[in-house]
A and B are shown apart, each in its own frame.
Chain A
Amino acid sequence: MAAIEATGLVKTFKSRKNSVKALDGIDLEVPEGSVLGLLGPNGAGKTTAVRVLTTLMAPDAGSARVLGHDVVKEADTVRGLVGLSGQYAAVDELLTGRENLWMFGRLYRLNSSQAKQRADELLETFDLTDAADRILKTYSGGMRRRLDLAGSLIAHPKVLFLDEPTTGLDPRSRLDLWQIIRDRVSEGVTILLTTQYLEEADELADSIVVVDHGSVIARGTADELKAKVGGERIEIVVHDPSETARALELLTAALEVTDPDATTLDQHNKRITLPAPGGSTALVAAIRTLDGAGIRIADVGLRRPTLDDVFLSLTGHAAEEVES
């Protein structure tokens, strides 16, 4: 059975001037115990999808079930089974870490001493015991995010929704949080994770759904998606900007690239990229060609495609580009 199932979700936001389709018929299926990465730029509909799946918002059309329970008709049951940790650390900054967790525990229907015990366990697990009795105002961003995540784990949820869990965190805190998420996965928790960071989806997700403008534009594993944009690529930065066009022309011929769309030329950064089906053989050929033509190379390398390339080739814009 799929832990999360959504079919044809539609949600439109209307304001006086215009209406925006935040979700335009999204289908999702997350098998139990797996991690789904929901990937897309700002405004793609990721957060709206999470809101619908966590019962915060009813869809205009379509339906969704979490662990077999309808998110609209059995909203209360669903709330008791899932954990949600949001993009903006939703914790009370005037309470201490311990008080926050106790409060959430009580609201998850634990009695006072159960809530206290659960708070202690989570503080320990999340390495917050030393800071437990400090007001959250004194916490760092990473600590707050950990506490927020701890709050969503109080009721031992089988399904966890993480809405951009590491947005705005420093690299160290991000790595810590990734480890925490991996630990939950090893306990068998099903996770739906939204992110703008392709690297994050690559690291954590078993499968990835790419959304843009409220629709799914691609789905598959990270490797499958990368295969869609082709294999390895050569990236060359030439020394003299006036030579970029000539360099591209020579390399296209030398590497027998038939599809001109598969190459890129960035005049400003003097950067050229081309597909390199032969890997290092192609790289050597490229260097020889340019050297023979007397074009000076500033930098050269062989690059495996990243999810950024996937996103760029699917949508025509970069993932972190903010949409108006």
Chain B
Amino acid sequence: MSTTGTPAKVSPFSRAVSDAGVLAWRSLKRIPRTPDMLIYATIQPIMFVLLFAYVFGNAIPIPGFPGARAYREFLMSGIFAQTMAFAVASASVGLADDMSKGLIDRFRSLPMARSGVIAGRVVGDVVFNAFVMLVMVICGFIVGWRWHNGIGQALAAFAILLLFAFAMLWVGALIGLSVGGPEVAASAGLIWLFPLTFLSNAFVPTPNLPGALQPVAEWNPISSIVAACRHLFGNPSPFASPDGFPAQHPVWLSLIWCAVIIAIFAPLAVNKYRRATSR
């Protein structure tokens, strides 16, 4: 009946890459078929840009950078980083959904790499986030944001943002595989991100924060991403302690944070997957 060949012998590494590729393909195929998700995922950052730029823009002064437009220059990196952080939710909801529908069981019964399902999800979501970022960049240009250090440094900033999304998606994967269902995963994936993003330099310059919160906000991983982007874009980037490590080495700190998050959460998520069972 069949003329199909026998499966090829491959190394564990190329198997992991191939499986992640197949699962990423699956994630990307699904996106245009869930148009509501696509619409919300792009409208939300646009809404944030407009609200913050025009509502808070005139009320929040940027120390050392006078003028209303300074806030918009300051703001965009914050919105970028926030949106990448919120990618957590797409991974947690996606995996929780697969789990509740029995797909995780199916994948676990296949001779695939143990990292394949999560890695595929993460890679697919990074590609999706790159698209969302493009929409935000256009929106930023419309409200008057610019980069000032050339396209090379701007691309480096976008790469850091996507690396950050990649790191945060592993956190989302762990959450998604740990909670009961997609509804819980949505709130469990997001709730802790609000204090994390608002206790940062994303929307309010850290010198404007109460003294006790300043060091917390400046070492916050989200702040490090934001500061690295502001540095690379050449946007205003005020610090409460301009001599501290976060102010002096924003790019290094952002990379260290991404590496730390991946090193902790990728193994935890894969380990969780190995033992994941629906119901």
Contact = CB atoms under 8 A, between A and B. Distances in A.
A277 B105 CA distance: 49
16 contacts: A56-B108, A56-B277, A86-B106, A88-B102, A90-B101, A94-B33, A95-B29, A103-B22, A103-B26, A104-B106, A108-B7, A108-B111, A114-B5, A117-B4, A121-B4, A156-B2
B34 A94 contact: yes
B99 to A, nearest CB: 11
Interface residues of A, number: 38
Given A79-B109, A107-B19, A109-B111, A94 B2 contact: no
Given A55-B108, A86-B102, A110-B5, 8 more contacts: A51-B105, A54-B109, A79-B110, A80-B7, A84-B105, A92-B103, A104-B106, A125-B1
Contacts of A99: 26, 29
Interface in B11-25: 15, 18-19, 22, 25
B109 A56 contact: yes
Top 8 closest pairs, chain A to chain B, by CB = A109-B7, A90-B106, A90-B102, A88-B102, A80-B111, A79-B111, A84-B109, A94-B30
B156 to A, nearest CB: 34
Nearest to A121: B2
Interface string A151-184: 1000110000000000000000000000000000
A54 B108 CA distance: 9
A206 to B, nearest CB: 23
Contact of A92 (B19, B30, B109, B116): B30
A114 B5 CA distance: 7
A70 B80 CA distance: 50
B109 A106 contact: no
Contact of A57 (B2, B8, B277): B277
Contacts of B102: 86-90
Interface of A: 51, 54-57, 76, 79-80, 82, 84, 86-95, 99, 103-104, 106-111, 114, 117-118, 121, 125, 135, 151, 155-156
Interface string B86-116: 0000000000000001110111111110001
Contact of A107 (B4, B29, B110, B277): B110
Max chain B Cβ within 10 angstroms of own Cβ: one of A89, A107, A108, A118? A107
Contact of B277 (A51, A117, A121): A51
Nearest to A75: B111
B118 to A, nearest CB: 14
B3 A107 contact: no
Max chain B Cβ within 10 angstroms of own Cβ: one of A56, A110, A135? A56
B4 A104 contact: no
B59 interface: no
Contacts of B26: 92, 95, 99, 103
Interface string B257-279: 00000000000000000000100
Nearest to A54: B109
A54 B110 CA distance: 9
